[in-house]
Amino acid sequence: MNNGSIDSESQRPLFNVVLVEPEIAANTGNIGRTCVGLRCKLHVVGTLGFSITDRRLKRAGLDYWPYLDFVHHSTWDEWWKLVPDPSRVFVFSTKAEKSHFQGQFQPGDWFVFGRETKGLSPEVVKSFSDQALRIPMTGPIRSLNIATAVAIVLFEGYRQVDSHHAFGLS
């Protein structure tokens, strides 16, 4: 786990993934693994439904967990102090009006996801109404698994910023 700061421009995270009060270790582990694969930073905010040392968390992240750029913020306000530009924060909710395909993403953006069982609070979604996005679903389900949703959003962001050229990734 890398809890330190990222020093060089070439090592800055592609995106920042923010999980608010995640409840399921395996989901967070899978999200961490995806973050490592795309050089994104993982922020978890608030009370967790598991211990960071939970073996299910490590199992889902496999042997990639030591490479994860990760920080735990005890409160929303503690995390929020790190955000340099609030217009670059996107919240994801099944209650949002706009599709994630309408988001115009840039390197360094913040993608915020809520709890597995409740999502983000209606107040948070409303306060970010211009930056609230949903993943379209046509089947009879309430929502996608959070690890799947994060992966969809990260890879759409990756597609938009053409990271192969901008970040020298392959």
Of 44, 37, 30, which is closest to residue 13 (Cα–Cα)? 37
The CATH number that applies at residue 122 is 3.40.1280.10
Range of the domain at 71: 11-166
Q: Return d(Cα 69, Cα 52) in angstroms, integer.
A: 14
124 belongs to a structural domain: yes
4 belongs to a structural domain: no
Question: What number is the average pLDDT over the span 85-104?
Answer: 94
How many domains does one find in the chain? 1
1 belongs to a structural domain: no
17 belongs to a structural domain: yes
Q: Return d(Cα 48, Cα 61) in angstroms, integer.
A: 17
Q: Which residue has the higher pLDDT, 10 or 153?
A: 153
pLDDT tens, residue by residue, 36-80: 999 999 999 998 877 776 566 566 556 777 888 999 999 999 999
For tokens 């709890």, name the residue. Answer: 115
- DSSP sequence for 112-152: EE-BTTTBS-HHHHHHTGGGEEE----SS-S---HHHHHHH
3 belongs to a structural domain: no
Residues 6+ apart with CB under 8 A from 9: none
